[in-house]
Amino acid sequence: MTARAAPAPLPPATTVGLQGWLRQNLFSSRGNSVVTVVLAVVLAWFVFNLGSWVFVEADWTVIISRAPLYIVGLYPYEGYWRLCICLLLISVLLGMSWRAWPNAARRFAFGFGAVILFVGVFPHEMAPEHRALLLLNLPAIGLGYVLTPRPADASPGRLEAIAGGTLAPALERGAIFSTPRRMISAALVALVLTMILILGIAGVPGLDPVNPQDLGGLMINLLLAFFGIVCSLPIGVGLALGRRSSLPILKVACVIFIEVIRGVPLITLLFMSRHILPLTFPEDLNIDRVYLAGITITIFSSAYMAENVRGGMAAVHPGQAEAARALGLRDWQNTLLITLPQGLRNIIPAIVGQFISLFKDTSLVYFIGMLDLVEMGRVSVQGNQEFIDNGREVYLFIALVFWVFCFSMSFISRRIEGVLGVGRR
C-alpha cells in the first residue's frame, strides 16, 4: 500500500519561467523574433527621446510656478486650507473603503497615498501649513481604516465561524449591513461638509463665501463630473422606471427626453444653457454659470444613466420577477426590492465608465467661460508671453492628470466587478 505515484514529470525548461515566457511570446519563430527586435528598438528610441525631453530639455516652470491654478483655479488663497480639509475628509472615506472592501480599494488607497506623499515632499513653493495639511492625509487614511469595523463578508471562513449557533442571523446581519450603511452616512456627511467648506457660508468667520466663478482647474472638472453622476443616478433611475412603466404618457415623455438629450452633443446643451435658456428666465433670476453647467451636465448624464439602468434591469433574469410574484410581492415591490437593486449592481462598471467619460467631457465648460484644467492650460500658454513656447509641457501635464484619474477609476471599476462577483449567481 505504500507504493508512491511516480513524481509528476516536469515540463520542459523551454516552456516555463522567464526564458519560457520570452521564447513563447516574443521569439516563437524567426519572423516573430525579427518583429520583436525591431519593435524593441523603435520603442527604446521613442522612450529615450521622450525621456530626454521630459528630464532635460523641457522647462516645467510653467507648471510648477502656477500649480495651484491648474488644481483649484482662481480660488482665493486664504481659503486653501478649507480645500485641504475637504481632501482630508476624502482620505478618511478612502481609509474606510479600504477596510470595508479591501479587494476593491486597497491598491487605490496606496496609489493615492503615494501621490500625496510625492506632492507633499516635492520641493516646490508651498506654505508650510498647507504642506502639513497635505501630509496629514496619510494618517487620515489610517484613521478611516481604524474607524471601520472589519467586514464579515470578506472571507467565507470567518462567516462560517460567526454563523455557528442560532444567534448567527443577528450577528450576520449586523456585520454585513453595518459597514455599507456607515459608509453611506459618512459619505453624505463628508459631501455636505465639502460643499460648505468649498463655497463657504456668509457671516461665519473663516468661512467667507467664495464666488462660484472662481472655482476652476481640476477641482471644477472633478466637482462637475462627481455631481453630474451623483445627481443623474436618481434621475436616471426615475427615467428608466418611467420608460418601463405601463402608463403610455409617462413612457412617451421619458423616451422623448432620453432620446432628445442623447441625440445632442454636450457642447450644444452647454451653449443653450448659457445663451438660450436665460432668455426664458425672469429678469432678476441670475443663475451662476457654474450651476448652469452643473445642471446641464446632470441632465446630459441622466439620459445616458437612464439607458444604463434600463439595460441593467432588463438583464435581470425573468425568474426573479416570477419568484417575487409567486411570493405575493406587488409589482412595485418587485421593482424596488428585487429588479432595481440587481439592475444597479449590474451596471456599476458602466456607471464608472460613464463617470470617466463625463469627467473628460467636463473640459467643454470652457465654452461657457469657465476656467477648468484644460482652459487654464490654454490661458497659461497663450496669456503669458514668457510661457508662449511651453504648450507641450502644459498639455502633456494635463493629459497625464486626466489619465491618472481615468486610469484609477477603471482600475477600481475592475476591482469592484471582482468583488461583486462573490454575491452573484
Partner 1 sequence: MAETNGVHAAVDIPADKAEILARPLEERDDIVVCENVHKWFGDFCAVRDVSMRVKRGEVVVIFGPSGSGKSTFIRMINRLEEHQQGRIVIDGIEMTNDVRNLDAIRREVGMVFQQFNLFPHITVLGNITLAPQRVRHLPRSEAEALAMQLLERVGIPEQAGKYPAELSGGQQQRVAIARALAMQPQIMLFDEPTSALDPEMIKEVLDAMRELAATGMTMLCVTHEMGFAREVADRMAFFDEGALVELGPPDQIFNDPQEDRTKMFLDQIL
Q: What is the dihedral of CA 376, 382, 385, 387, to 10 degrees?
A: 60
CB of 241 to partner 1, least distance (A): 18
Please give the single-letter amino acid code of residue 290: V
CB of 105 to partner 1, least distance (A): 20
CB of 107 to partner 1, least distance (A): 25
Q: 160 vs 386, which CB is nearer to partner 1? A: 160
Which of 166, 246, 280, 286 contacts partner 1 by CB under 8 A?
166
Q: Which span sits near partner 1 by CB under 8 A: 45-53, 239-247, 299-307, 416-424?
A: 416-424
Q: 275 vs 330, which CB is nearer to partner 1? A: 330
Position 30 contacts partner 1 (CB under 8 A): no
Which of 323, 388, 399, 404 contacts partner 1 by CB under 8 A?
323
Q: Which of residues 340-399 bind partner 1 (CB under 8 A)?
A: 341-342, 345
Q: 139 vs 169, which CB is nearer to partner 1? A: 169
Q: Closest by alpha carbon to 228, among 116, 362, 405, 114?
A: 362
Residue pair 62/393 in contact by the 8 Å Cβ criterion:
yes
Position 12 contacts partner 1 (CB under 8 A): no
Position 124 contacts partner 1 (CB under 8 A): no
CB of 101 to partner 1, least distance (A): 15
Q: Which of residues 72-91 bind partner 1 (CB under 8 A)?
A: none
Rounded to an integer, what distance in angstroms lies between the CA atom of residue 219 and that of residue 75? 10
27, burial (CB in 10 Å: exposed 0-12, middle 13-18, buried 19+): middle
Q: 11 vs 180, which CB is nearer to partner 1? A: 180
What does the DSSP assignment read for 146-192?
HHSPPPSTT-HHHHHHHTTSTTHHHHHHHHHHHHHHHHHHHHHHHHH
Q: Which of residues 128-157 bind partner 1 (CB under 8 A)?
A: 152-153, 156
CB of 177 to partner 1, least distance (A): 9
CB of 344 to partner 1, least distance (A): 9
Alpha helices, DSSP H, located in 245-334: 248-262, 266-271, 277-280, 289-314, 318-326, 331-333
State the number of binding residues for partner 1 (CB under 8 A).
37
What are 285's three cell numbers?
A: 433670476
Residue pair 80/72 in contact by the 8 Å Cβ criterion:
yes
CA distance to 149, 180, 307, 412, per residue, from 301 (Å): 35, 25, 10, 21
Q: Which span sits near partner 1 by CB under 8 A: 16-24, 117-125, 232-240, 321-329?
A: 321-329
Position 181 contacts partner 1 (CB under 8 A): no
Q: What is the DSSP letter of 347?
A: T
Which of 11, 139, 169, 265 contacts partner 1 by CB under 8 A?
169
Which of 64, 74, 138, 162 contacts partner 1 by CB under 8 A?
162
Position 103 contacts partner 1 (CB under 8 A): no
Q: What are phi and psi of 75, to 5 degrees?
A: -55, 135
Question: Radius of gyration of the chain from Cα atoms?
Answer: 26
Q: 228 vs 312, which CB is nearer to partner 1? A: 312
CA distance to 26, 27, 36, 362, per residue, from 21 (Å): 8, 9, 13, 43
Q: Closest by alpha carbon to 102, among 159, 144, 137, 160?
A: 144
Q: Which span sits near partner 1 by CB under 8 A: 24-32, 132-140, 164-172, 278-286?
A: 164-172
Q: 205 vs 328, which CB is nearer to partner 1? A: 328
What are 322's three cell numbers?
A: 416570477
On the CB side of 368, CA atoms within 13 Å amount to 25
Q: Closest by alpha carbon to 105, among 115, 97, 113, 114?
A: 97
Which of 124, 262, 275, 317 contacts partner 1 by CB under 8 A?
317
Position 265 contacts partner 1 (CB under 8 A): no
Position 418 contacts partner 1 (CB under 8 A): no
CB of 184 to partner 1, least distance (A): 16
Q: Give residue 228's Cα distance to chain centre.
A: 12
Q: Please enumerate in sequence order all residues whose Cβ is within 8 A of that of 248, keeping only pairs 6 or more positions apart, or say none.
A: none
Q: 242 vs 343, which CB is nearer to partner 1? A: 343
Q: Which span sits near partner 1 by CB under 8 A: 131-139, 285-293, 314-322, 369-377?
A: 314-322
Q: 196 vs 316, which CB is nearer to partner 1? A: 316
Residues that bind partner 1 (CB under 8 A): 152-153, 156, 159-160, 162-164, 166, 168-173, 176, 317, 319-320, 322-329, 333, 337-338, 341-342, 345, 422-425
